[in-house]
Amino acid sequence: MSCQGGTTVEGPIETPVPLSATNLPPVVPASPPNAVVGGKCPWGQIKSPAAVAEITPVSLRDIMSEQLASSLQIEEEENLVKEILVAEGIEQPAADGFDLTALQSISSPSDDCSSDFLIAQMLQMQYNKEHDHGLKKVEEKFNGASKVSVSLSNYMMNPCSEEEDSSDEEMDSGKKKKAWDKFEAHEKAFPVIPRCGYVKIDNEMVTKHDVTMSGRRNACKVMENFPPCIHTGDGASFDMQLSNKVYNTLKVYSKSEDDRRTRLHEKKEKSTSEMAMDAKTRLMLYKLVNNQILENVYGVISTGKEAVVLYANGGSVPSDTEMLVEIPKECAVKVFKTTLNEFKTRDKYIKDDYRFKDRFSKQNPRKIIHLWAEKEMHNLNRISKAGIPCPQVVLLKKHILILSFIGTDMKPAPMLKEVRFSKDEDDPVLNSAYNQTIDIITRLYKECNLIHGDLSEYNILWHESKCYVIDVSQAVEPSHPHGLEFLYRDCVNIINFFAKKGLKHIHTPESLFTSLCGFDLDGSGAEAVNQIQDYEKDHELLTFAKPEKPFAFDYCWEQSKGGASSPP
């Protein structure tokens, strides 16, 4: 910033600097020039130095301070974002105070720029709204009380948004008015065709198929109804007529253009939600930062089929909140994907889990995603209570689960799959990993009453010579109708892994399975699975036969009535 005396002011200005210390000419002189003191001044009465001291000094530097400007700007933007959020129904009005400074901390140059994108989207939304609102005002002013009105809706960014705000009644009357205006305009241009289908003008028969008339009508439709991106030119100054063929070709083109634009838009929307980080999720993360539950959210540790795991630093929160444990400095934030494709195939884990039965509804898939996160939290709590190494649950917010981080200094612990064991059968590290894994599956089953359901070298982390079990959202209780099948699959996965690593004198999948649940298997592979499935069916029947289970009574009652209800 260059000032009058050629001096340059550098660095941020924290507090107003006393006038004497500045190099800048003050707006109010500190002392009047000697020549006019007490004399008659041509500029009027000059106040005495004492009076001058009472006036708060205003320095040019203050006025032109970029800091002041930017703080005003921030304030303005903050209010804007608040307004948009409230208007879009994303945020409750004046709920726990959405603060833009949190956004700024996230969007600092060292971090990624996704928040900039979000803000840009919001600003665009607001801009569109204001733009449309402005057009509406112009339209109203232009039309006034006139019966023939001009509509600018084709130029609006979002023609429906204005209508959304108004009540249905208003919308109806608006539509009627438009239709009536159109009719009036047409009536002037074209003769009314009576029921007989023709009208005589100057002894000539004019039907609705009359070339001139339909040509004019087509031209009218093009001018009125085509979106503004299709350049129609100015048709008002001459008698424009378009044949049906030309009109149809134009219409097909404009429609395909429109479709193309929507398709592009859809694709973009989808690709962001594929990352599990749709706008809502990002807002939730900002809120977590804003509430100081998290200090920072960094990059992605892993993008799986069902979840994205992010690295974050825990913040500091007073103890009266819903915290379960103190927030660790290093956290893993597991964001369950809000795209539903992957979850459809995994319904079975949750649908038949009696703990979640009442709340499982096919109607609301979004809620099911929340259930997955909740299920992971319950299972992790149960596992950690039994003393099995696993991440600690810090907080659950809808489909976002904050866990303690397994790893050190931003480096996540490797999966068993990634650990380089020596090929030696006697490698103590390899043997220790094996023993710990067997210990995990055994204690999960016996102490936690849980079957992991996806236990493998991918879901065990190796950290400080200990095996940590993770990814337990799909874990079920042994009473689950397919629980034993899941258990057998877990046994196969881990035994195959350690066998491949060179360990010899270890369990077979079948012997491990039997040692856990006591159920003998004659064969292996598909044969074993068949046996297990038969057993599960018998077991299910046995369960239904037990009189103390009320749902078994309901089931039998329905059956006896010939009702087609499925087993509970």
* 198 contacts 225 by C-beta, under 8 angstroms: no
Q: Which does 380 bind (CB under 5 to 8 A by kind): Mn ion, ligand ADP, none?
A: none
Pick from 424, 173, 131, 122: nearest CA to 280: 122
CA pair distance 373, 394, nearest whole angstrom: 13
The distance of closest approach from Cβ of residue 420 to ligand ADP in the complex, given in angstroms and rounded to an integer, is 16
Q: What is the DSSP letter of 148?
A: S
Applying CB under 6 A, among 9, 46, 87, 415 the residue interacting with ligand ADP is 415
Distance of CA 443 to the CA centre of its chain: 37
Do 372 and 340 touch, CB atoms closer than 8 A?
no
Determine, following the binding rule CB under 6 A, whether residue 407 of this chain makes contact with ligand ADP: yes
Q: Is 213 exposed, middle or buried (0-12, 13-18, 19+ CB in 10 A)?
A: middle
Of 453, 457, 455, the closest CA to residue 475 belongs to 453
Instruction: Pick the closer one to ligand ADP by CB: 149 or 404.
Output: 404
Q: Which stretch binds ligand ADP (CB under 6 A): 110-118, 187-195, 398-406, 438-446?
A: 398-406
Query: Mask of contacts with ligand ADP, 108-127, x by CB under 6 A?
Result: --------------------
Which of 235, 315, 365, 412 is in the footprint of ligand ADP by CB under 6 A?
412
3-class DSSP assignment, residue 170: helix
Shortest approach of ligand ADP to residue 314 CB, angstroms?
A: 12
Size of the site for ligand ADP (CB under 6 A): 18
Q: Mask: binding to ligand ADP, 298-317, rule CB under 6 A, as x and -? A: ---xx-x-xx-x--------
Least Cβ distance, residue 403 to ligand ADP (angstroms): 4
For ligand ADP, the binding residue among 470, 503, 516, 521 (CB under 6 A) is 470
**405 forms part of the interface with ligand ADP (CB under 6 A):** yes
> With CB cut-offs between 5 and 8 Å by kind, which of ligand ADP, Mn ion, none does residue 374 bind?
none
Closest among 269, 262, 314, 257 to 291, alpha carbons compared: 314
Q: Which is nearer to Mn ion, 149 or 459 (CB)?
A: 459
CB 190 within 8 A of CB 213: yes
CA of residue 239 relative to chain centroid, distance: 52
**Does residue 283 sit in helix, strand or coil?**
helix
* Nearest residue to ligand ADP, by Cβ distance, number only: 304
CB of 346 to ligand ADP, least distance (A): 10
Q: CB 304 → Mn ion: shortest distance, Å?
A: 6
Binding positions for Mn ion, rule: CB under 5 A:
459, 471
Q: Which of 454, 471, 520, 554 is catalytic?
A: 454
- DSSP lists the bridge partners of residue 393 as 403
Nearer to ligand ADP, 190 or 372 (CB): 372
Strand (E) or helix (H) holding 204: strand 204-207
Q: Please, which residue, 437 or 459, has the CB nearer to Mn ion?
A: 459
Closer residue to ligand ADP, CB minimum distance, 230 or 415? 415
Among 288, 401, 403, 512, binds ligand ADP (CB under 6 A): 403
- Shortest reach from residue 275's CB to ligand ADP, in Å: 13
Candidates 242, 283, 332, 438; binder of ligand ADP (CB under 6 A) is 332
Decide if 331 contacts 315 (C-beta within 8 A): no
- Minimum separation from the CB atom of position 278 to ligand ADP (A): 17
- Closest approach, Cβ 463 to ligand ADP, in A, equals 8
Binds 405: which of Mn ion, ligand ADP, none (CB < 5-8 Å by kind): ligand ADP
For Mn ion, give the closer residue by CB, 190 or 405: 405
Where are the strands (E) in 291-387, listed by range?
Answer: 294-303, 307-314, 330-336
Pick between residue 405 and residue 486 the one whose CB is nearest to ligand ADP: 405
Handedness of CA 529, 530, 531, 536 (dihedral sign): positive
* 457 lies in the site for ligand ADP, by CB under 6 A: no
**Is 454 a catalytic site residue?**
yes
The binding track of 8-47 with respect to ligand ADP, each residue x by CB under 6 A or -, is ----------------------------------------
Among the listed residues 344, 502, 360, 479, the one whose alpha carbon sits nearest the alpha carbon of residue 421: 502
In DSSP notation, 391-423 reads PPEEEEETTEEEEE-SEETTEEPPBGGG----S
Q: Residues 6 or more apart from 372 whose CB is under 8 A from it?
A: 306, 336, 343, 350, 399, 473
CB–CB of 361/367 below 8 Å?
Answer: yes
Q: What is the DSSP string of 102-130?
A: HHHHHTSTTS-SHHHHHHHHHHHHHHHHH
CA angle 527, 533, 539 (to 5 degrees): 140
Between residues 115 and 459, which has the closer beta carbon with respect to Mn ion?
459
Residue 232, token pair as written in the block: 């129609």
**Site for ligand ADP, rule CB under 6 A:** 301-302, 304, 306-307, 309, 332, 334, 391, 403, 405-407, 412, 415, 459, 470-471
The residues carrying an active-site annotation are: 454
